[in-house]
Amino acid sequence: MRDVTLLNIFEHHIAQKYLNRSGLAHAIAVAYHAFHLGKKHQLDVDIAAKAGLLHDMGHYTWYKNGKWDYELYKQNDIHPIKGAERAHKLLIRLGENPIKAKTIALAILFHTDSFLPSNDIVRTPLQQIVKWADERDEEEGGMHHYRTIEYDRAKQSIIRLDQWIEREG
Ligand SMILES: [Fe+2]
């Protein structure tokens, strides 16, 4: 039995706020990719899916004169740091096992090189698959952040993924 399900996370108002900001459809797609990759590489699929779901919850939208400014974003973005912190806080609040919460937070912290000065960090297998899961769902020009999904469909996808995870456990 897990302490926290994906549905517990999904239904929390903090998760709703940030997952909708950076794209709920993308978050769910990455959770599914992370589950499959985790299974393939014999990793903890619960941790993988949770990190996938929450990986972008640190996003902030950078605007200049009412328009998204990609240069400004690249210069100032720290979404993996903020995401790791927000996800950790939320997971602990929901009663997640602290070791799991830390592992998930670190996978979020290292899910991209975009905010780092160099591309030479060495990832654990779990951190690597979360990065791949994100890349699998990426679209040109950041369009994956704008794909939409209805709340009920999103909820059903989350419930189904929870069932798959339970079956693996
Ligand atoms: Fe992403």
pLDDT digits (tens, 9 = 90+) for 109-122: 999 998 998 889 99
27-to-100, 133, 165 alpha-carbon distances in Å: 19, 10, 17
User: What is the rounded CA–CA span in Å between residue 99 and residue 95?
Assistant: 12
If you measure from the C-alpha of residue 23 to the centroid of ligand 1, how many angstroms do you get, rounded to a whole number?
A: 9
More confident of the two residues 128 and 72: 128
What is the average pLDDT score of the chain?
94
Architecture of domain 6-168: Orthogonal Bundle (1.10)
If you measure from the C-alpha of residue 78 to the centroid of ligand 1, how many angstroms do you get, rounded to a whole number?
A: 13
pLDDT tier, 61 (very low <50, low <70, confident <90, very high otherwise): confident
**CB-neighbour burial class of residue 169 (10 A; exposed 0-12, middle 13-18, buried 19+):** exposed
Say what the pTM is: 0.95
Q: Which pLDDT does position 64 carry in this prediction?
A: 79
Domain assignments of the chain as residue spans, ordered by start: 6-168
If you measure from the C-alpha of residue 138 to the centroid of ligand 1, how many angstroms do you get, rounded to a whole number?
A: 7
| Spatial contact of 72 and 64, defined as CB atoms under 8 Å apart | yes
CA 115, distance to chain mean position in Å, is 16
Q: Which pLDDT does position 67 carry in this prediction?
A: 79
